[in-house]
Structure formats: structure tokens, C-alpha cells
Amino acid sequence: MPLLRILLLAFPLLELASLIVLGQEVGVGWTLFWVLFTGVAGLMLIQRSGWGMLQRLQQQMLVNRSPQAVLKSGMWGVLAGVLLAFPGLVSDALAVPCLIMMLLHRGGGSGPDDDNGGGPRTYRQGEFTIIEGEWQAGDPQQPEDPGRLNRP
């Protein structure tokens, strides 16, 4: 636990030191431009990822599919946006892998091998539709528990 506290205290100091070095190397104007540009880009990414994630989440729920792939993509986008919005070069460097992960998870949820949770999987093989799942014979006239809807 003390290591985490030291890292949390050292991170802003490392960001400040990286900005000072950048300012000395390329100039204060370009450093301010970089900080403002990445901050605006981060906020736009948070907004775009958040709204896009909500819309794709609603679409997945309407077709009764697991929203896991949508949540993964959205999570990486929001995390990358937060890291970009935080001023400093270290957080910007940490945002790059998050952006890559967001792009890798962008198209998830479309094939039979997707890791999107439970439920039956449906796919076509030739002219046949294959639905993987469990089936159990039962009497449709006789419900399992007739009073299940009348419980308080």
C-alpha cells in the first residue's frame, strides 16, 4: 500500500518534470499547444466514446446480445480520453496503448468465436442454421410453477 501512495505522489511530479523538459527543448509555446491539444482531444474522445458506447449498448440489448464487447471498447476509449486530458507526456504515452486497445475492440461482437458471455450462439453452415444451446422436452400445457406470477 505504501508503494501505491508513493506512485500517486510521484506521478504528478513526473508529469511536471516532463513538461518542463519539453518546454526547454521545443519552447513554451509549443508545449502549451501540446497540452491544450491533447486536453481537447481527450475530452472529445471521452464524449465520443461515451455516447457511442451508449448507442451501441442499446443496440446490443435490443437484439438480446451480451454488451461485453461494447463495454470493453468504450472503457478503453474513456480511459484513453482521461489520460489524454490529464496534462503531461507520461499520461499521453500511457494513452497510446489504450487507444490501440480501443481500436482492436471496436468491431467486437460479430462472430461465433467472440468472448461475449453466455447465451446460445447462432451461425450458418451451408444452408443450415446451427443454434448452440440446451433444449429440454416438456409439456407446454403444464407450466412448471402455476403460481409463479401471482406471488407478492
Q: Mean pLDDT lowest for which of 51-60, 74-83, 104-113, 135-144?
A: 104-113
Residue 128 lies in a domain: yes
- Structurally, the chain folds into a number of domains equal to 1
pLDDT in tens, 10-24: 999 999 999 999 999
Of 27 and 104, the one with more pLDDT = 27
In a domain, 145, yes or no: no
What's the rounded Cα separation, in Å, for the pair 7 and 95? 18
Per residue in 85-96, pLDDT (tens digit) is 999 899 999 999
Entry pTM: 0.64
Phi, psi of 120 (to 5 degrees): -70, 145
Q: What is the pLDDT of residue 7?
A: 87
Q: CB–CB of 71/57 below 8 Å?
A: yes
Higher pLDDT, 110 or 142: 142
Using the predicted structure, report yes or no on whether residue 30 has a pLDDT greater than 90. Answer: yes
Residue that wins the pLDDT comparison between 65 and 8: 8
Tell whether the model's pLDDT for residue 25 goes beyond 50: yes
Range of the domain at 89: 11-109+118-132
Within-domain flag for 143: no
14 burial level (CB within 10 Å; 0-12, 13-18, 19+): middle
State the pLDDT confidence band at 113, using cuts at 50, 70 and 90. Answer: very low
In a domain? residue 152: no
Residue 38 belongs to some domain of the structure: yes
**122 Cβ contact list (under 8 Å, min separation 6):** 129, 130, 131, 132
pLDDT at position 147 is 60
Where helices occur in the chain by DSSP H, the ranges are 2-26, 28-62, 68-85, 89-104
